[in-house]
Amino acid sequence: MHTAFELKKTMFRAERNGVAVDPYALLDWDERDRLGVVIDRPVGALGAGLMILLAAAAFYDAPGKRRRSRPLYPEIYLFHAGGPWGTFIQFDFWPAHKEVFVARDPRDLLAAINNRGVTHLVLPHGHRQPTAHWFKEPEAAADRIKRCYVYDTDGGTVAGETVRLATDSEVVLRNYSRTLDIDDVVERMKQTDGIPLRLRPPSPEETRHMVEVTAVRATRESCKNHPTHLANKERVARALAGTELIESYREIPVRDALDMLPYRAEPLDARRPGVKT
């Protein structure tokens, strides 16, 4: 929950159709909203990093709540399609159940998204492919989801962009660099007092669990030679050297988003949840 102490709206710059806007206007966030981000390749969700951190800041600033003085983890969920694709604990996806591992099947993905009550959906750019989702799942999503955005996994420009987010804040940028170099984070976590007291669970057993889960995933999901990892590492390095980190997004209707959820390579079968064939 370090984001409760570190992130401020003023760290973000936002544009809609080339016009500067209040960053929170992109979200229309209220106290019950939840962000869901789909990731389909190693560290690909870094391409949506600013949207994730902006949503975390908006979560803490929800009117009528005192979430910064009585912090809790933000209501954000990362859906690993066919993954796992790297641990994002540095973006405050914690406890561990906030990272959801789903088959690369759009129907399973939508079921998981609906199950978590996601109101803001962010997914990687891809081609639309009409999908026969499970009965009434699309209607449930359309009834609840307020905003859908498409992002580029390498942090580049999305075709038909409608929104840009930017930052030059080192506080924001270190969440990227630490995700890319998660091994260093694990080593710090293992040290005595490596986790600040205000962020440490009161139970030593729970603290050990946090460190162990992060360490295991850091080892198993290492992907430092993957093109997406290299592309994000390069753009973060440029930003840390003094340029802004800029991400572009395209807002799309919910129906379009449901047809862009990542597919697995092989054909989908006709099984229904809970039915054995």
Give per-10-residue mean pLDDT for the chain (277 aa). 93 98 97 97 97 97 87 95 95 96 95 98 93 95 98 94 98 97 91 77 86 94 94 96 96 96 58 39
Q: What is the pLDDT of residue 270?
A: 39
- CA 224 and chain centroid, separation: 19
Tokens of 145: 């989801």
Other beta carbons within 10 angstroms of residue 250's beta carbon come to 18
Can you read off the two tokens belonging to residue 211? 């460190």
pLDDT at 191: 85
Per DSSP, 27 falls in state: T
Instruction: Determine if the pTM surpasses 0.85.
Output: yes
pLDDT score of 264: 63
**pLDDT at residue number 204:** 86
Q: Write 251-255 long-range contacts (CB < 8 A, 24+).
A: 251/147, 251/148, 251/149, 251/162, 251/163, 252/148, 252/149, 252/150, 253/148, 254/121, 254/141, 254/142, 254/145, 254/148, 255/138, 255/142
Q: Is the dihedral of CA 54, 56, 60, 64 positive or negative?
A: positive
